[in-house]
Amino acid sequence: MSSFASSSNPSVSSTASVSSTAQLRGPVEYGFTEATAQLFREHSTSRWQEDPAPGRVVRLDRNRVLVASADGLLHLPYPAHGLVPATGDWVWLGHNSAGEPAVVEVLPRRSALSRKRAFEASSEEQILGSNIDIVAVVVPVDRPLTHNRLERTLVAAWDSGATPLVVITKADLAYLADDVVGEVILQAAGVDVVTTSAEQGDGLDELMQHIPAGATLVLLGPSGAGKSTLINALAGREVQQTGEVRAGDGKGKHTTTSRELVPLPGGAVLMDTPGVRGFGLFDADDGMEEMFGDLEELFTECRFADCAHQAEPGCAVQEALAEETLDPRRWASYLKLQRELAALARKHDAAARRAYQREWHQKVVAAERGQRAAERYKHDQAQERAGKGGKRRKR
């Protein structure tokens, strides 16, 4: 019997708890490795009145958390304190105040994929998954490539702390695949691209080479992109339902309704996610730097350090646009994402909001001064012309 199943014993000290982690048992099929065991050893706390056991959050349900332990899957209450669990979290398992088995603490996350919550008025962060090693952005070839969506998702992938990967699905549609692959490789510079056909079994071995034993991969993509079919092919069994895609608009039903970990042969773990209609960025400065590093370098070539990249002389961005070495669509996408992140920061940071208001006020005042100056100049010029005309008439 595992230490998690033992009854609570108030006489057990925190020192004994720390030493008991030396031979930790965890859910190996869900990514528990020696490195993970060390993480648990480093985050043993003085709360314990018993020997705790490691676990990993497999899925979040409405009122319970599905957790993998060394002895199998458990439906447990949410923890009463600390972080709210997310799929992929490593957790300590123990007992709550009622003596029931429960999640008692969430360990710090080494990576987290997040976005702004879907409704427009929200400025809150939504954790889609944690402790992820690879974020695979799924691009189906049976619909037009949405460039802005791909860039936005890759920014979030870079910012998560994981390694981005692009997975092209439905490549058996050969008459479309070549064009899509070429566009993706060009746009996702610096990111590996894997072309797959789950129906034909093509590209699966190459994809698995990106997921070593113990690693966790998350799939991100729109509904009907073929994620569930790909998961079934990788797992070697039907673990996800698949649905038909509408021929009219290429959209599919949400056959996946929750984020869930799926063990794969060879010791890797895959996290499926529901189809994502929108992906609002949340505090993604690092991801922006990775995805738009070429623009960051271009900014250093501007004549002025505070160049706004609009009409200033010596602006390297405007020169690149004029010479067509910078894609206007890419520049517009960068500006849109920066505005989105700035707006989100203003919602979160009162100081940033006040600074924005001061800046806006200064712009308005400056505009009013400029307008008044222009009107005075116009009036003075008119007066001067009228005066000169009167003198000529007297002569």
* Same domain flag for 156 and 262: yes
What's the chain's average pLDDT? 75
Residue 355 falls within a domain, yes or no?
no
Q: Is the pTM of this model over 0.75?
A: no
* Same domain flag for 8 and 55: yes
Residue 328 falls within a domain, yes or no?
yes
Collect all residues with Cβ–Cβ distance below 8 Å to 215 and sequence separation of at least 6. 31, 133, 134, 268, 269
Determine the pLDDT at residue 155: 83
Identify the three-state secondary structure at position 218.
Answer: strand
3-state secondary structure 339-374: HHHHHHHHHHCHHHHHHHHHHHHHHHHHHHHHHHHH
Assigned token pair, 332: 């517009």
Residue 367 falls within a domain, yes or no?
no
* Same domain flag for 55 and 200: no
Residue 343 falls within a domain, yes or no?
yes
Report CA-CA distances (Å) from 102 to 48, 72, 226, 228.
13, 14, 35, 31
Q: Are strands 216-220 and 269-272 parallel, antiparallel or unpaired?
A: parallel
* Same domain flag for 175 and 314: no
Query: pLDDT tens digits, residue range 110-134?
Result: 998 876 544 444 446 678 899 999 9
Q: Which of 81, 80, 78 is nearest to 63 (CA)?
A: 78
Collect all residues with Cβ–Cβ distance below 8 Å to 316 and sequence separation of at least 6. 298, 299, 301, 302
* Cα(381)–Cα(98) distance, integer angstroms: 87
* Same domain flag for 26 and 42: yes
* Same domain flag for 120 and 211: yes
* Same domain flag for 122 and 190: yes
Residue 391 falls within a domain, yes or no?
no
Query: Which amino acid is residue 339, in one-letter code?
Result: R
Q: Which of 51, 77, 106 is the last residue of a domain?
A: 106
Determine the pLDDT at residue 6: 41
Q: Which of 157, 164, 133 is nearest to 264 (CA)?
A: 133
Q: Residue 163 above 50 pLDDT?
A: yes
* Same domain flag for 184 and 219: yes
Residue 389 falls within a domain, yes or no?
no
Average pLDDT over residues 209-218: 93
CATH number at residue 317: 1.10.40.50
Residue 358 falls within a domain, yes or no?
no
Q: Which of 53, 72, 106 is the last residue of a domain?
A: 106
Cβ(275)–Cβ(223) under 8 Å?
yes
Determine the pLDDT at residue 323: 87
Tokens 């439905």 sit on residue: 170
Report how many domains make up the chain.
3
Within 10 angstroms of residue 72's Cβ, the number of other Cβ atoms is 9
Which residue range is the domain that position 88 belongs to? Answer: 3-106
Determine the pLDDT at residue 99: 80
Collect all residues with Cβ–Cβ distance below 8 Å to 344 and sequence separation of at least 6. 116, 123, 280, 281, 282, 283
* Same domain flag for 200 and 101: no
Cβ(163)–Cβ(179) under 8 Å?
no
Determine the pLDDT at residue 122: 45
Residues in the chain: 395
Q: Which of 77, 106, 135 is the last residue of a domain?
A: 106
Paired with 59 in beta bridges are 66, 260
DSSP letters spanning 47-81:
T-SS--EEEEEEEE-SS-EEEEETTEEEEEPPPSS
* Range name among 74-88, 154-168, 227-241, 316-330 with the lowest pLDDT average: 227-241
Q: Residue 5 above 60 pLDDT?
A: no
* Same domain flag for 51 and 129: no
Determine the pLDDT at residue 119: 44
CATH number at residue 27: 2.40.50.140
Query: Which amino acid is residue 291, in one-letter code?
Result: M
Q: Residue 144 above 60 pLDDT?
A: yes
Report CA-CA distances (Å) from 23 to 19, 54, 71.
9, 11, 15
Determine the pLDDT at residue 89: 96
Average pLDDT over residues 19-36: 81
In percent, the amount of the chain with pLDDT more than 90 equals 22
Residue 20 falls within a domain, yes or no?
yes
* Range name among 31-35, 47-51, 256-260 with the lowest pLDDT average: 47-51
Determine the pLDDT at residue 269: 95
Cα dihedral 350, 351, 354, 356 in deg (nearest 10): -110
* Same domain flag for 248 and 149: yes
CATH number at residue 140: 3.40.50.300
* Same domain flag for 168 and 234: yes
Tokens 């189809």 sit on residue: 275
